[in-house]
Chain A
């Protein structure tokens, strides 16, 4: 299967084409079969390929399938590669993607455009697999843009709803800004190294000396440009604004694209380019600071949102910030590990939230829920598992990944120790906020008084097709973290970091040194206590004394309104970018340049021609027959001249010849 690696991405593409072309007339069963079958087969093929990869014992499998672009000494091919990093990504994408496909068959069962939905979803799988399997930046960029396209299509799935269509456009346009940087980064890399193939490029870049801190050399600029693309795709400051709006899409889409896979593409690119980043400490510091700031910033907004999916959206932005923080302090394997555990528990959170919304008949506002834990027991149990995981309680997955990130931040050498401590402090504060807003979500949704009218809403547990993926993901949210159990726990040996050692070995040390072990244990205990405090505060504010929460909101009114309005960032962008752009487009480009300039020139020429014709036509008689006579007379005159006056006729004949 390794030799036929192209089958893995191709299967979802086929599924997408079949459903898109023929699915409209099919019953849902057939569409299900094609969609789940193609992704499931793709998952199995990926598993088999991974098995062969490990059996062969190589550290990097690389195969050129065909040349796509060849120009001079530039070559971009449909080349796929597999190493340990790819293994993680491919299995997460196909595995979680497959589960979400199964879930979606239940969730979307009563929606119109069923075949369209699955066609788009499969298309997304294809592009995402191209992205993670690509062996050069150009092919990676194909997948990168392709997932952006599918994201746009799926956010605007309910395209008759204006807010959904607008959210799709917003996501696409904001991503364009990042992609602009990404392309410039690619151009710079090609100009410097003459290739965009990962293996060749990194081999050429590796011997270069690392640039000094604060020095804007080629590496730093290229890395910052790549990171700009990553900021767009992975919703980091200042380009995160599209992700919360993207919640307009159906919930399975939010789970698959806007939580588990696509938004982590930016982290993947940074991790994939770790050799370049290792040469650019300034860029590393920028990544760490942006990641940390985003994590904290988004978490504070998440504190006060009342839409269940919006809370999860800001939580996603925040967790992505953690991943970048890890990459920025050089702990790439910790970042990728958090990417994986986050894919499990955040997909689970979204799917469980979808199950809640399904049960409530479309209600998304948590103020209209409450006391649901008895009515939808399985959804409650799975969502609680994911909450414990994201809040960082042992032995759930999030504890291990978040812990290793915080430890790496604490020990970070980039930009001096104080920077590392600051990053750690903000990371820890974010962990506190995370625990708080997640438990707030749980308490508001599942506990406390029932705040909806029982006569209007028929609360019911979701079908098995939705619950089964929830349970599988819940199990993964627990055991997924054990892969990276730190050495101080029984049976733990930092297995995950060692697994990624062949990829990141050049830039990071796997495992924790023995002398740092006591520090590691201390930090883990601090993190758990922090999470406990967050959960306890949420319990106190939303269950024990619900009136206190309102009182607190009133006494901190300015801060509360600022958070509720998301720091007015959307309004700021509207005032600083959108409205000036619209003004320039309308007044300068449209009315001045297009209407007055271009249309004016074209119409002016036409009007001028008409005016001249109007003036000249009076010299004509308008009688068609007199023209005929003049034609004949003219012909006779010419012939007569040629015959009777040969010397004068010569120039005329010369013209004819």
Chain B
């Protein structure tokens, strides 16, 4: 039986990596993947606590998160494709129309 805090620490590390990539990467697809990483880090924490507390609530939440993540992926990829088509770039630095 792996102690719960191991899971939580792993989850925190993964989340931290996600945040790091989210802030410092330039490619929109990478940023998008880092969001998925953060979501899954949270999922890991959810199932870990669910196991530790002997309650199913956490697992149910994970299912919701997966569903929302799938929907978000569909919308997000759509936006990315539009950006790629209109601006011929995936560099997030170049997506700055609001500044004009």
Chain A residues within an 8 Å CB radius of B100: 622
Chain A residues within an 8 Å CB radius of B99: 620-623
Chain B residues within an 8 Å CB radius of A621: 99
Interchain CA distance A625-B28 in the complex, whole Å: 10
B26 → A minimal CB distance (Å): 8
Binds A, one of B3-11, B44-52, B63-71, B88-96: B88-96
Q: Which of A617, A625, A632 contacts B92 (CB 8 A)?
A: A625
Q: Is the CB of B23 within 8 A of A622?
A: no
Q: Is the CB of B98 within 8 A of A629?
A: no
Interface residues of A in 584-629 (CB under 8 A from B): 617, 620-625, 628-629
Give 6 A-B contacts (CB < 8 Å), ordered by A residue: A622-B98, A623-B99, A624-B95, A625-B24, A625-B26, A628-B22
Interchain CA distance A367-B75 in the complex, whole Å: 75
Interchain CA distance A518-B23 in the complex, whole Å: 114
Q: Is the CB of A632 within 8 A of B93?
A: no
Quick check: is B97 within 8 A (CB to CB) of the other chain?
Answer: yes
Interchain CA distance A625-B19 in the complex, whole Å: 12
Interchain CA distance A622-B94 in the complex, whole Å: 10
Interchain CA distance A625-B93 in the complex, whole Å: 7
Interchain CA distance A348-B99 in the complex, whole Å: 82
Residue of B whose beta carbon sits closest to that of A620: B98
Q: A628-B22, A632-B19, A632-B22 are in contact. Are A617 and B98 (CB under 8 A)?
A: yes
Q: Is the CB of B23 within 8 A of A623?
A: no
Q: Is the CB of A628 within 8 A of B31?
A: yes
Residue of B whose beta carbon sits closest to that of A631: B22
Known A622-B96, A628-B22; 20 more pairs at CB < 8 Å: A617-B98, A620-B98, A621-B99, A622-B97, A622-B98, A622-B99, A622-B100, A623-B93, A623-B96, A623-B99, A624-B92, A624-B93, A624-B95, A625-B23, A625-B24, A625-B26, A625-B92, A629-B23, A632-B19, A632-B23
Interface residues of B in 29-43 (CB under 8 A from A): 31
Q: Which of A624, A628, A629, A632 contacts B96 (CB 8 A)?
A: A624
Q: How large is the interface on A (under 10, 10 to 19, 20 to 34, 35 or more residues)?
A: 10 to 19
Chain A residues within an 8 Å CB radius of B31: 628
Interchain CA distance A214-B31 in the complex, whole Å: 88
Q: How large is the interface on B (under 10, 10 to 19, 20 to 34, 35 or more residues)?
A: 10 to 19
Per-position 1/0 for A618-651, Cβ under 8 A of B:
0011111100110010000000000000000000
Residue of A whose beta carbon sits closest to that of B28: A624
Residue of A620, A628, A629 most packed against chain B (CB within 10 A): A628
Chain A residues within an 8 Å CB radius of B96: 622-624
A613 → B minimal CB distance (Å): 9
Q: Is the CB of B23 within 8 A of A628?
A: yes
B94 → A minimal CB distance (Å): 9
Residue of A whose beta carbon sits closest to that of B96: A622
Interchain CA distance A623-B95 in the complex, whole Å: 8
Query: How would you classify the secondary structure of chain A's contact residues: helix, strand, loop or mixed?
Result: helix
Residue of A620, A622, A625, A629 most packed against chain B (CB within 10 A): A625
Interchain CA distance A629-B26 in the complex, whole Å: 13
Residue of A whose beta carbon sits closest to that of B24: A625
Chain A residues within an 8 Å CB radius of B23: 625, 628-629, 632
Residue of B whose beta carbon sits closest to that of A623: B96
Interchain CA distance A425-B11 in the complex, whole Å: 107
Chain B residues within an 8 Å CB radius of A623: 93, 96, 99
Chain A residues within an 8 Å CB radius of B22: 628, 632
Chain B residues within an 8 Å CB radius of A625: 23-24, 26, 92-93
Chain B residues within an 8 Å CB radius of A632: 19, 22-23
A302 → B minimal CB distance (Å): 70
Which 4 interchain pairs have the tightest Cβ spacing? A622-B99, A622-B98, A622-B96, A624-B92
Interchain CA distance A624-B31 in the complex, whole Å: 11
Residue of B31, B92, B98 most packed against chain A (CB within 10 A): B98
B86 → A minimal CB distance (Å): 15
Interface residues of A in 118-146 (CB under 8 A from B): none
A194 → B minimal CB distance (Å): 56
Interchain CA distance A9-B100 in the complex, whole Å: 71
Interchain CA distance A628-B21 in the complex, whole Å: 10
A624 → B minimal CB distance (Å): 5
Per-position 1/0 for A477-515, Cβ under 8 A of B:
000000000000000000000000000000000000000
Residue of B23, B95, B97, B100 most packed against chain A (CB within 10 A): B23
Interchain CA distance A547-B86 in the complex, whole Å: 83
Interchain CA distance A617-B99 in the complex, whole Å: 8
Chain B residues within an 8 Å CB radius of A628: 22-23, 31
Residue of B whose beta carbon sits closest to that of A629: B23
Interchain CA distance A628-B34 in the complex, whole Å: 12
Interchain CA distance A624-B94 in the complex, whole Å: 9
Interchain CA distance A344-B23 in the complex, whole Å: 91
Chain A residues within an 8 Å CB radius of B95: 624
B89 → A minimal CB distance (Å): 12
B80 → A minimal CB distance (Å): 12
Interchain CA distance A313-B71 in the complex, whole Å: 68
B31 → A minimal CB distance (Å): 7
Interchain CA distance A632-B22 in the complex, whole Å: 9
Residue of A whose beta carbon sits closest to that of B95: A624
Interchain CA distance A637-B99 in the complex, whole Å: 27
Interchain CA distance A625-B22 in the complex, whole Å: 8
Residue of A whose beta carbon sits closest to that of B34: A628
Chain A residues within an 8 Å CB radius of B92: 624-625
Interchain CA distance A621-B96 in the complex, whole Å: 9
Interchain CA distance A108-B97 in the complex, whole Å: 66
Chain A residues within an 8 Å CB radius of B26: 625
Chain B residues within an 8 Å CB radius of A622: 96-100
Per-position 1/0 for A273-286, Cβ under 8 A of B:
00000000000000
Interchain CA distance A620-B95 in the complex, whole Å: 13
Residue of A whose beta carbon sits closest to that of B19: A632
Interchain CA distance A311-B88 in the complex, whole Å: 74
Interchain CA distance A221-B86 in the complex, whole Å: 69
Residue of A whose beta carbon sits closest to that of B91: A624
A611 → B minimal CB distance (Å): 16
